[in-house]
Amino acid sequence: MMSCPKIILAMLTLLSFQAIIAEDTIYLKSDKQQVGTIVGADGANVSVEVAVGSGKGRIPIPIASIQKIEMVTPSEVLNLNRSDAANVILVLEPLVKKFKGLPADWIVDAMGTLADAYTATGKIADSNSIYAQIEQLFPGSKYLIKANVGKAKGALASGSYDEALKLLDPLIEEANKTAAPSAEEGRLYGEVFLVKGKILEKKNDLEGALESYLTTVTSFYQNVDIVSQAEELAKKLRNQNPQLVVR
């Protein structure tokens, strides 16, 4: 049986380890790193809580100086029930307000999820505003794919199917150039083909829709949630149309 001092030591070690892995890491373009807890972003700077002497303090780090970020995704995002649009809005609005502009995948995904919830509740203008913010906050970045997909989803929701496809065309052209997509490319392009499938299904191009869903599943499969949606839609389409095949 472990003695009391050893138990205490083991607990302290575990707590210390948990504190370490819970911290965020900012990799700067200067090849330096800053470890701490990211507490917010304002579009120009990231606010980081760091140890200062025996206490803590906050420092701003210019977003322009950041190469990449490793950040613990907030539990609210991980545990979010995306099927309840009203709850999504309630949970994500304050998080997006606090962290928008942060160059991290989770916040851009959260912005997209919030925009989808706005669309689901008929708030198309609010949805478009979110994607406009992504374009403004992340110019020239990979996240512009997310913004254009979002606009296409808005056009789909309003019944403007040809406009939606037009928004996706350049993204699909780029995606088709990637014979072996990276994890990052797969995560973003998977949604492109998912949305294309939904549009084609609305236009009654069922073969094209099925092909698009399966492209997400087989080629751009890095986003688990997106792949799950594509698999479900492909299954439903096949069940409703047993003769349907992809040539």
Domain locations in the chain as residue ranges: 21-70, 77-240
Task: Give pLDDT, residue 140.
Answer: 84
| 53-72 average pLDDT score | 90
Task: Give pLDDT, residue 168.
Answer: 96
Task: Give pLDDT, residue 182.
Answer: 84
Q: Which pTM does this prediction carry?
A: 0.73
Task: Give pLDDT, residue 6.
Answer: 52
Residues 6+ apart with CB under 8 A from 59: 34, 36, 47, 48, 50
| 44-49 average pLDDT score | 93
Instruction: Report CA dihedral (70, 75, 78, 83) to the nearest 10 degrees.
Output: -140
- Taking the C-alpha atoms of residue 72 and residue 217, their distance in angstroms, rounded to an integer, is 27
Which amino acid type is present at position 178?
T
- Taking the C-alpha atoms of residue 179 and residue 55, their distance in angstroms, rounded to an integer, is 51
Task: Give pLDDT, residue 139.
Answer: 86
| 151-157 average pLDDT score | 90
Nearest CA to 202 out of 164, 145, 247, 244 is that of 164
238 against 143, higher pLDDT: 238
Question: Using one digit for the tens of pLDDT, what is the confidence trace for 81-95?
Answer: 888 999 999 999 999
* Mean of per-residue pLDDT scores for the chain: 87
Question: Using one digit for the tens of pLDDT, what is the confidence trace for 217-238?
Answer: 999 998 888 999 999 999 999 9
Count of beta carbons in the 10 Å neighbourhood of residue 21: 7
Question: Using one digit for the tens of pLDDT, what is the confidence trace for 161-212?
Answer: 999 999 999 999 999 988 788 888 888 899 999 999 999 999 999 999 999 9
Class of the CATH-defined domain 21-70: mainly beta
Record: fold of 77-240: 1.25.40
Task: Give pLDDT, residue 110.
Answer: 92
- Taking the C-alpha atoms of residue 143 and residue 149, their distance in angstroms, rounded to an integer, is 10
Q: What b/e sequence results for 230-243 when a residue is b if at least 16 CB atoms lie within 10 Å of its CB, and e otherwise?
A: beebbeebeeeeee
68 against 14, higher pLDDT: 68
Task: Give pLDDT, residue 21.
Answer: 44
Task: Give pLDDT, residue 82.
Answer: 80
